[in-house]
Amino acid sequence: MAEIKQVLMPDIGDSKDVPVIEVMVKAGDTVKAEQSLLTLETDKATMDVPAPFDGVVKNVSVKVGDKISEGTLILLMETNTTVTSAVVSPTTPPTSVKEAANPPAATPVAVPVTPTSLPNNLTSKAHASPSIRHFARELGVDLTRVKGSGEKGRITKNDVQSFVKTALAQPQGGTGGGGLHVSAMPVVDFSKFGAIETKPLSRIKKLSGANLHRNWVSIPHITQHDEADITEMEAFRKELGEEYTKQGIKITPLAFLLKAVVTAMQQYPDFNASLDASGENLVLKKYFHIGVAVDTSDGLMVPVLRDVDQKGIVQLAKELGEISTKAREKKLPATAMQGGCFTISSLGGIGGTAFTPIINAPEVAILGVSKASIKPVFKESEFVPRLMLPLSLSYDHRVIDGAQAVHFTSYLGKVLSDVRRLVL
């Protein structure tokens, strides 16, 4: 028997008042489960909201430009299933490893603003909700400088984000203050020199630009390079791989890296921390959620594996396979990329010898992994071939000093070279 059912907006983490940028169905359309109904756009990603079941659209309750939150009625569908209402999970297209890792909460940063960027209606008391005030404090934004676009001049999250993007885009000049004093980029007509093609940046890259810029200029990055001898680890990994391949579980080096990183973080707790909004206190975390870069056809995504300290190599390998598949199929919910304590960006399957990964604020460190190679290593009075894994650890120098970073990578190398230490 046909029934009319509601499709509601699900929990999408901290995001509220998310704008609808595309509606892909209309009344009368027949849709299949998992077919995209509409597309949303946050400050860090776009998200497709899929249909939870087969049916016929009876009425669409939202339109392009609407801002919706958890629980908002999206549409009514006629179906023969027995469910009376449904909440669907949005899926998120790939984004850059640097900015999509959790998606990261904003690093406290004072945004320099020139007088020309200030709105005309400054007031002594900003009209904003507690959550927006908290968000603005994280960004270091003075809400009295932000013009509200909401009802009765209420300041929305989009207003704060637009203010930050505008401020970061403006060249900072003059004397004093916290500006970088960087000249504006020159406008160049490249067609004068030969044939060109203009290709617009994706929405993700446009939106992530401010986050990348903020993290790079506001965090004093230092990168410590090291190598780990993974000869025995790789032999053991291959043994496990043969053992679990029939169960459809692929044991990758990344599963070992996850456990090893957590072991090192337990040894050096400052790596599992964040600066608070004031920049004067360190928040030490007692949980271990690790973000992992996943390569997809559209770019990199950084889903977060929860409670890595409580899981074994096989379980982590299984979860890595599952999230990788969801990422490539664009079925990761936004909440799957939040709450990370530390990020691993592995390019080992591609190549390279070293690189400088950008820290995912509010995390204080990120580990880059390059391609392992056989090298001669002097052991017991002779050179022997060993499989060496390049490691590149970028860290926030406000929190971690050089000696701590060297201790961390050295300890990490020790654990990777003798996987028995993972059970200690």
At residue 278 the predicted structure's pLDDT band, cuts being 50, 70 and 90, is confident
Residues 164 and 141 sit within 8 Å (Cβ to Cβ): yes
Domain definitions of the chain by residue range:
3-87, 221-423
Catalytic residue numbers read 397
pLDDT at 338 over 70: yes
Q: Which pLDDT score is estimated for 285?
A: 97
Chain segment 195-211, per-residue pLDDT in tens: 999 988 766 566 666 77
Q: Whole-angstrom Cα distance, residue 93 to residue 46?
A: 6
Chain segment 120-132, per-residue pLDDT in tens: 333 335 677 767 7
In Å, how far are 112, 167, 211, 305, 359 from 141, measured between CA atoms?
9, 10, 15, 31, 21
Of 254 and 132, more confident:
254
**pTM for the full predicted model:** 0.62
- Helix H, strand E, coil C: the string for the chain is CCEEEEEECCCCCCCCCEEEEEECCCCCCEECCCCEEEEEECCCCEEEEECCCCEEEEEECCCCCCEECCCCEEEEEEECCCCCEEECCCECCCCCHHHHCCCCCCCCCCCCCCHHHCCCCCCCCCCCCHHHHHHHHHHCCCHHHCCCCCHHHCCCHHHHHHHHHHHHHCCCCCCCCCCCCCCCCCCCCHHHCCCCCCCCCCHHHHHHHHHHHHHHHHCCEEEEEEEEECHHHHHHHHHHHHHHHHHCCCCCHHHHHHHHHHHHHHHCHHHHEEECCCCCCEEECCCCCEEECEEECCEEECCEECCHHHCCHHHHHHHHHHHHHHHHCCCCCHHHHCCCCEEEEECCCCCCCCCCCCCCCCCCEEEEECCCEEEEEEECCEEEEEEEEEEEEEEECCCCCHHHHHHHHHHHHHHHHCHHHHHC
Cα-flanking dihedrals φ and ψ of residue 108, to 5°? -60, 120
pLDDT at 224 over 60: yes
CATH code for the structural domain at 221-423: 3.30.559.10
Q: Which pLDDT score is estimated for 174?
A: 40
Q: Whole-angstrom Cα distance, residue 292 to residue 320?
A: 9
CATH code for the structural domain at 3-87: 2.40.50.100
Q: Which residues sit opposite 258 in a β-bridge? A: none
In Å, how far are 217, 273, 301, 333, 339 from 288, measured between CA atoms?
27, 10, 19, 20, 10
Of 204 and 12, more confident:
12
Measured at the CA of 159, the angle between CA 138 and CA 156, to 5 degrees, comes to 80
Q: Whole-angstrom Cα distance, residue 175 to residue 341?
A: 37
* Residues 283-304, mean pLDDT to the nearest whole number: 87
